[in-house]
Amino acid sequence: MTPARSYRDLIAWQKAVELAQETYRLAALLPERERFGMWSQITRAAASVPANLAEGHARQGRKEFAHFASVSRGSVAELETFILLAVRLGYFGASACEGLLSLSDEVGRMLTRLHQSLNDAKNP
């Protein structure tokens, strides 16, 4: 596998940006009273997924990149938790979140594989 020259070449980063974009669209539907609460938490978690991938890639060390891929994976879990909580609180209908949760699951799997491949490459 040829290393990506830029973080923008990573499919995981591209999907993570899509996840963040869709999250911002959904978060815009939150009630006004949640603008500084849940809205802030949801959008911060979503934006941190591609941001941590970019930062990890820029570090140019496999160990650090693996660490940031793991942090990104944690942000996906955080995002999913906030989305599911918002559904339970009645802010979103479950059907409105299906696509976003499916995309977050896909990004999470990609990040897990990326993390594993970076660790495997460190330990031949």
Rounded to whole angstroms, the Cα distance separating 56 from 41 reads: 22
Strands (E), the chain: none
This prediction has a pTM of: 0.91
For 71-114, how does the pLDDT look when each residue is reduced to its tens digit (9 = 90+)? 999 999 999 999 999 999 999 999 999 999 999 999 999 999 99
The model's confidence at residue 35, banded by pLDDT at 50, 70 and 90, is: confident
List the end-to-end C-alpha distance of the chain, in Å, as a whole number: 15
Contact between residue 12 and residue 111 where contact means Cβ atoms under 8 Å apart: yes
Domain 8-122 has CATH 2.60.120.20: no
Average model confidence (pLDDT) across the chain: 93
80 close to 111: Cβ distance less than 8 angstroms: no
CA 44 to chain centre: 10
